[in-house]
Amino acid sequence: MPKSSIQFFSEDIPFILKNKGKIRQWLDTTIRHEGKHTGMLNFIFCSDSYLLNINRQYLNHDTYTDIITFDTSEEKKEISGDIFISIERVKENAVKFGVSEFDEVCRIVIHGTLHLIGYKDKSKADKALMTQKEDQYLSARSSV
């Protein structure tokens, strides 16, 4: 089993995530609860334009998005990947949904983690399950 690591980076914008240690613990607990183990997870916080360039280059999509997840897992039970998150989308969504920016960051962080675990959100049914899982794990983060 490879060494586990959950890291947070800021690529082209000034952003510092609060409560990194507690968020790492929350994510690791979530991953274990889903029957997996934590590999190497990198969360990269960036601007809209940075994420748009990634979306164009790797996915051939010319649209803004809040998150792009790249799975680098080498084992079926391991969760590893690079998760790029637009802080500008997070801020806009926080206002739109009437939540704090920190709560929205946590929602998008768990969303990306759930993608790596194997949950999808393309169909209506998949999206409903993804939202249910997000809500479940967000309610479990009371200490974050």
Residues 6+ apart with CB under 8 A from 96: none
Q: Are 46 and 8 in contact (CB under 8 A)?
A: no
111 is in an annotated binding site: yes
User: Is 37 known as a binding-site position?
Assistant: no
The phi and psi torsions of 105 (rounded to 5 degrees) equal: -60, -45
- Give the SS3 label for residue 142: coil
Structure tokens at 111: 């969303």
Q: Angle formed by the axes of helices 48-59 and 87-97, to 10°? A: 110
Which amino acid does the sequence have at 139?
S
Structure tokens at 87: 């802080």
59 and 102 Cβ atoms separated by less than 8 Å = no
Residue 121 among known ligand-binding residues: yes
Instruction: Give binding residues for Zn(2+) as ranges.
Output: 111, 115, 121
What residues are designated binding site? 111, 115, 121
